[in-house]
Amino acid sequence: MSAQIQLVFGNPKSIAERDKENGMQAAVAHADQKVDRWSELAYEKLKAFLVATGGREFMAEDVRVWCWGGNLPEPPNKRAWGAVVRRAVTAGLIKFVGYSKTTNPKAHRTPAAIWVKA
Q: Which domains are assigned to the chain?
A: 12-117 (1.10.10)
Q: What are the residues whose beta carbons fall under 8 Å from the beta carbon of 93, sequence distance 6 or more?
A: 46, 47, 50, 117, 118
Q: Helices H, strands E: what count in the chain?
A: 4, 2
Cα distance between residue 77 and residue 11, in whole Å = 28
- C-beta atoms surrounding 81 within 10 Å: 23
| C-alpha radius of gyration, the chain, whole number | 17
Mean pLDDT along residues 20-28: 91
CB 94 within 8 A of CB 55: no
Residue, of 33 and 70, whose pLDDT is higher: 33
Residue positions counted in the chain: 118
Q: Which amino acid is at 108?
A: H
100: amino acid identity, one letter: S
Mean pLDDT computed over 43-61: 95
pTM for the full predicted model: 0.83
The pLDDT of 57-85, averaged and rounded, is: 92
